A and B are shown apart, each in its own frame.
Chain A
Amino acid sequence: MNGSPIASGAPASPPSPEPPVVATEHLVVRSRERVILNDVSLAFPDRDVTAIIGPSGCGKTTFIRTLNRMTEIGSGLMVRGRVLYRGQDIYARGVNPVIVRQRIGMVFQRPVVFPMSIFENVAFGLRINRVDEATVERTVESCLRRAGLWTEIGDDLDRSGLTLSGGQQQRLCIARALAVEPRVLLMDEPTASLDPVAAQKVESLLFELRQNYAVIIVTHNLQQAARVATRTAFLYEGRMIEFDETKRLFESPREKLTENYVTGRFG
């Protein structure tokens, strides 16, 4: 799949030492009215952060939602092409979307805290899988630590998660996503609704997460992509225009469109 040509003729993925953990092949997503994603082939390395950038409406949110079959929830979108998780097509027959979403977790633009305690929020994914209590307690603590929340709220776990600040809520959502031990974390503009200080905490968390997870982050904040992502893909009008190491993409893009976008000429 690494050799498959894409629209612009650039390689689908820059050279990477490991095989990709998630990849799309000729992904086409369409609604009743229009084509939202057109022939997108991308490969995402394990244990690294990859950013998807592009102007509003370019299809970047739809793109990451296809990566764990969230597009199937009440959207009426049609998906063609393949999405591979460690080589297996997640849209193939016999693959349960519930299991896909446990392996490939998601964090949304606005934090979505469940109306329950902080502890139960993190424990949610374990409870629905009937994990024993001792494991639940251990996992909740370790996930809150990994999300950088333990020192802030570790002694207050019975409080309603809804009472936390926006930034804490988003990190709680990250802790909750980590609790089911996913291999991949999809993040749809995870800092867009946060103040700069809270956003910075989530960003620095990404540097920790990249040790253990493949993180795919959608952002329209170019500086953020430059700070957190090893590689960046640029989407424009449903097409993948360029995918390269972030530094290269920003400093010496091959495509004129990319150059115009990263230099702020549109978007």
Chain B
Amino acid sequence: MTAALATDAAAVDDLVRASAGHMRRRLLLDRVARYGLLLPFVVVFFPLIDLLYWISETALPTFTWATLTQDQIGNGGGLHAMIIGTAVLIALATTIATLIGIAAGLYTAEYAPPAIARLGRTAGNVLAGVPAIVLGFWGYFLLVIYTGWGYTVLGGALTLSILMVPFIYRTSDLAFSAVPASQREAALAMGARRYQFLGRIALPIAIPGILTGVILAMAIGLGETAPLIYTAGWANVPLTGLFSPTSYLTGAIWLFYSQPPDIGLYALAFQAAFVLIVMVVAINVTLQAVAEHYRRRLRGLFS
């Protein structure tokens, strides 16, 4: 018995040596991975940091309260009308796109026959890929010329919402499709009708996913210029109604960047960019918090 338990020196030597070699190789690989991957990681964030620095450098020295509260006039003034324009455009477009996107996503996930659902998903992806400027061009003919509205806030918001809708539609479809089948079964076993299950159970479960799409769509919508150039027109004073033309922050960047650097308009382009980024961040943070609130209520559901 004891013989079997005696240590075989050769075997120990073999194991330890092999392990050591193996270990060295692994440590080396680990180090390569650790520092090799650091570079791409930095590359991802470098442009963001540089961009923020570069914009702030020109935007902030002349940034005053008046930048936010004054309308643009002559070679100077502020972003007042453009901030209002952008806020109204994005609010309208988000409302329209969210209502349509959720409804269409619900139909696709819940009611559509498989062939129609596939078609809808493909169409959504195609629409998401249509270049913004083509969409704007089309919006011009449909909502400016054909309707006889001329350049309007409504025309701009509608065009923008068409750009945003596929993102909300696709995430809503996915979010509704991911609702556990057991939830449906249990609700129907209680004598719930399908719309009651959808409204009271599926929608709350899908909300975090839908919000992800809304956040993405809003970030994209806020940054768009091309669809608005063709449809919303331009006005130095704040909009007075849905059928008045309006200016907007992205337009300020596009219009003023080529002005001589020593006059106020040039700085206004940078200030518009700065305000735009602040708006994107604020919306993102707020909606993420809302999504997180809903997500917390679902903890334990998918386990």
Q: For the complex, what is the distance from the CA of A125 to the CA of B197, rounded to whole Å?
A: 11
User: Does B185 belong to the interface (CB within 8 Å)?
Assistant: yes
A73 touches B301 (CB 8 A): no
User: Does B196 belong to the interface (CB within 8 Å)?
Assistant: yes
Q: For the complex, what is the distance from the CA of A128 to the CA of B201, rounded to whole Å?
A: 12
A213 to chain B, nearest CB (A): 15
B298 touches A162 (CB 8 A): yes
B189 touches A70 (CB 8 A): yes
B204 touches A101 (CB 8 A): no
For the complex, would chain B's binding face be called helix, strand, loop or mixed by DSSP majority? helix
B182 touches A108 (CB 8 A): yes
A127 touches B200 (CB 8 A): yes
The number of inter-chain residue pairs (CB within 8 angstroms) is: 73
Q: For the complex, what is the distance from the CA of A65 to the CA of B106, rounded to whole Å?
A: 27
Most A C-beta atoms less than 10 A away, residue of B187, B189, B204, B301: B189
Of residues 82 through 103 on chain A, the ones whose CB sits less than 8 Å from some CB of chain B are: 98-99, 101-102
A125 touches B191 (CB 8 A): yes
User: Does B24 belong to the interface (CB within 8 Å)?
Assistant: no
Chain A residues with CB under 8 A of B297: 115-116, 160
Q: For the complex, what is the distance from the CA of A201 to the CA of B183, rounded to whole Å?
A: 24
- B191, B201, B299: the one within 8 Å of A99 (CB): B191
Interface residues on B, range: 20 to 34
Instruction: Count residues of chain A with CB under 8 A from any CB of chain B.
Output: 28
- Known A-B contacts A98-B191, A102-B191; the reply to A115 vs B200 at CB < 8 A is no
User: Does A180 belong to the interface (CB within 8 Å)?
Assistant: yes
B192 to chain A, nearest CB (A): 5
Nearest-CB residue, chain A, relative to B298:
A115
A61 to chain B, nearest CB (A): 12
Chain A residues with CB under 8 A of B204: 115-116
Q: How does the 8 Å CB contact mask read for A12-56 relative to B, with 1 for contact and 0 for none?
A: 000000000000000000000000000000000000000000000
What is the interface of chain A, defined by CB distance below 8 A to chain B?
68, 70, 73-74, 98-99, 101-102, 105-106, 108, 110, 112, 114-116, 124-125, 127-129, 160, 162-163, 173, 176-177, 180
What is the interface of chain B, defined by CB distance below 8 A to chain A?
181-193, 196, 200-201, 204-205, 297-301
